[in-house]
Amino acid sequence: MPDTIYLDNAATTYPKPREVHDFMHEFYSTCGGSPERTGSGATGRIDQIVSQTRKMLCELFGGNDSKRLTFCYNASDAINQIVQGMLSPGDHVITSRLEHNSVLRPLYHKEQAGEIEVTYIPFDGAGFISPDDVKTSVRKNTKLVLLNHASNVTGAVQPIAETGKICREAGVYFAVDASQTAGAIKIDAREMNIDLIAFTGHKSLMGPVGIGGIYTGENIPISATRFGGTGVFSELRTHPEEFPYRLECGTLNILGVAGLYAGLNWLNKQGIEHIHAREMDLWDRLRQGLRATGSVIIYCADRRENHAPILSFNIPGLEAADAGAILNADYGIVCRTGLHCAPLVHEGIGTDKLYGAVRFSIGPFNTEEHIDRAISAVGEIAAMYTGNL
Ligand SMILES: Cc1ncc(COP(=O)(O)O)c(C=O)c1O
């Protein structure tokens, strides 16, 4: 089998930069103790890395108070905290049909329990929502608008700044799932009027799995959803209201934070915009190459502006899972097939009945050669199977 070509970076980026592995190893080998647990006397460097990472992320998200950058496990965990901590019985939420199950399921649970009402706005043929749909969906009891920044199926980057303006004018809170864009595409809480940004560390931020978080703006009424030790205010019977403690409990995943710290330093050295431009060059090459085969159906916009380097497609006559299995077994290409945890997107693009689509997603370590091999693999498979079903 040829060398593996990893084209599943929207699931998790791989490989991670050498610097991330090296820093995590060095950090965990030389630093003992739990952050902010006074009395251990050994946590100086740990506290410094944790607070520096909060600062770097806060800056990345256009925030102005790094204490409001809180850590949790991943984006799913962050979105659960937002949904549970922001919503009360009787509230209405606006979301979209482009969302990942990390958004949909926490909302469905509350909706099915009769606690909240939810409006699911549609997206157009190229994968974009319309801010006007958000505007016309606002009701008296609308508390929150919760949208992703980029779809993990179509790759379309949503009109977040326009939507943020509408939310601010309407007096509703705006939360963004930045899973596919944090560390890749600019997202600025201040400029875009975003109140809460949920992120995950293991995708474009180039960190390990098990670390993610939330940036929470000022005066956002988010309650703690879990309670416990914080290392400070131990005399209180209730969980502290202060940030970051309000949304964190128990010992922090300092190894994950260290990985994020190294990932952020690596990104800053390479230049986030430079990496994105290079990935989008590869995406353009992939899109044009797949189109030129004349035998695949592509589900993405026809232009690179407002796009993430994600491309979903199908080979007519072949189920996505089978195409993925052949790509993997015969060509060494790792990709993702199925519904991509975003079933409403597949309903919208008509691929739900086909058991989803094949998704290629590009990362910083992909090359033109990878893309050319992927195009020719798809072309060969299509030539063999098209019209078989
Ligand atoms: C748009 C979107 N939201 C949420 C998630 C969930 O991220 P995590 O698995 O890190 O919680 C993903 C991951 O695939 C995603 O693409």
pLDDT tens-digit readout, 212-266: 999 999 999 999 999 999 988 999 999 999 999 999 999 999 999 999 999 999 9
Percent of the chain with pLDDT over 70: 97
Tell whether 361 and 253 lie within a shared domain: no
Contact 153, 312 (CB under 8 A): yes
Q: Which of 154, 341, 345 to mutate to test the pocket of ligand 1 (most atoms within 8 A of CB)?
A: 341
E strand spans, the chain: 5-6, 69-72, 92-96, 117-121, 142-148, 173-177, 196-200, 212-216, 297-298, 310-314, 333-334, 336-338, 357-361
Question: Which is the closest atom of ligand 1 to the Cα of 76?
Answer: 11
Residue 11 sits in a domain whose CATH number is 3.90.1150.10
pLDDT, residue 260, reads 98
pLDDT, residue 307, reads 97
What 8-state DSSP symbol labels residue 4? P
Q: Which of 180, 196, 206, 340 to mutate to test the pocket of ligand 1 (most atoms within 8 A of CB)?
A: 180
Going from the Cα of 148 to the center of ligand 1, the distance in angstroms, rounded, reads 10
Going from the Cα of 198 to the center of ligand 1, the distance in angstroms, rounded, reads 10
Going from the Cα of 179 to the center of ligand 1, the distance in angstroms, rounded, reads 5
Q: Across the strands, what pairs with 175?
A: 146, 196
pLDDT, residue 272, reads 98
Contact 281, 295 (CB under 8 A): no
Instruction: Copy the structure tokens of residue 323.
Output: 């195409």
Residue 142 sits in a domain whose CATH number is 3.40.640.10
Q: How many domains does the chain have?
A: 2
Say whether the peptide bond before residue 244 is cis (omega within 30 degrees of 0). Answer: yes
Mean pLDDT of the chain, nearest integer: 95
Mean pLDDT of 144-169: 98
Tell whether 179 and 229 lie within a shared domain: yes
Lowest mean pLDDT among 9-18, 66-75, 200-209, 378-387: 378-387
Question: Does residue 389 surpass a pLDDT of 90?
Answer: no
- Give 42's pLDDT tier (boundaries 50, 70, 90): low
Question: Which is the closest atom of ligand 1 to the Cα of 212?
Answer: 10
d(CA 198, CA 84): 14
Going from the Cα of 100 to the center of ligand 1, the distance in angstroms, rounded, reads 7
Q: Which of 13, 72, 76, 158 to mutate to test the pocket of ligand 1 (most atoms within 8 A of CB)?
A: 76
pLDDT, residue 367, reads 98
Going from the Cα of 76 to the center of ligand 1, the distance in angstroms, rounded, reads 6
Question: Which is the closest atom of ligand 1 to the Cα of 77?
Answer: 11
Tell whether 130 and 202 lie within a shared domain: yes
Going from the Cα of 210 to the center of ligand 1, the distance in angstroms, rounded, reads 12
Question: Does residue 1 surpass a pLDDT of 70?
Answer: no
Tell whether 151 and 133 lie within a shared domain: yes
Question: Does residue 177 surpass a pLDDT of 50?
Answer: yes
Q: Which of 82, 152, 209, 339 to mutate to test the pocket of ligand 1 (most atoms within 8 A of CB)?
A: 152
Question: Does residue 41 surpass a pLDDT of 80?
Answer: no
d(CA 81, CA 72): 9
Going from the Cα of 146 to the center of ligand 1, the distance in angstroms, rounded, reads 14
Tell whether 214 and 294 lie within a shared domain: no
Question: Does residue 60 surpass a pLDDT of 60?
Answer: yes
Tell whether 166 and 249 lie within a shared domain: yes
Ligand 1 site: residues with CB under 6 angstroms?
Answer: 11, 74-76, 100, 102, 148, 152, 177, 179-180, 200, 212
Q: Which of 103, 179, 180, 345 to mutate to test the pocket of ligand 1 (most atoms within 8 A of CB)?
A: 179
pLDDT, residue 69, reads 98
Q: What is the pLDDT of residues 330-386, one digit of tens each?
A: 999 999 999 999 999 999 999 998 899 999 999 999 999 999 999 999 999 999 987
Name the residue type at position 65: D
Tell whether 199 and 345 lie within a shared domain: no
Going from the Cα of 106 to the center of ligand 1, the distance in angstroms, rounded, reads 13
Q: Which of 214, 241, 269 is the last residue of a domain?
A: 269
Q: What is the pLDDT of residues 305-338, one digit of tens each?
A: 999 999 999 999 999 999 999 999 999 999 999 9
Q: Which of 216, 251, 269 is the last residue of a domain?
A: 269
Q: Which of 253, 269, 285 is the last residue of a domain?
A: 269
Query: Against a cut of 0.95, is the pTM above it?
Result: yes
d(CA 255, CA 21): 11
Domain that holds residue 108: 18-269
Question: Does residue 39 surpass a pLDDT of 60?
Answer: no
Tell whether 296 and 228 lie within a shared domain: no
The alpha-carbon radius of gyration of the chain (Å, integer) is 21
Tell whether 234 and 345 lie within a shared domain: no
* Nearest CA owner, ligand 1 atom 15: 179
Going from the Cα of 41 to the center of ligand 1, the distance in angstroms, rounded, reads 37
Tell whether 285 and 334 lie within a shared domain: yes
Tell whether 22 and 10 lie within a shared domain: no
d(CA 374, CA 333): 7
Tell whether 202 and 62 lie within a shared domain: yes
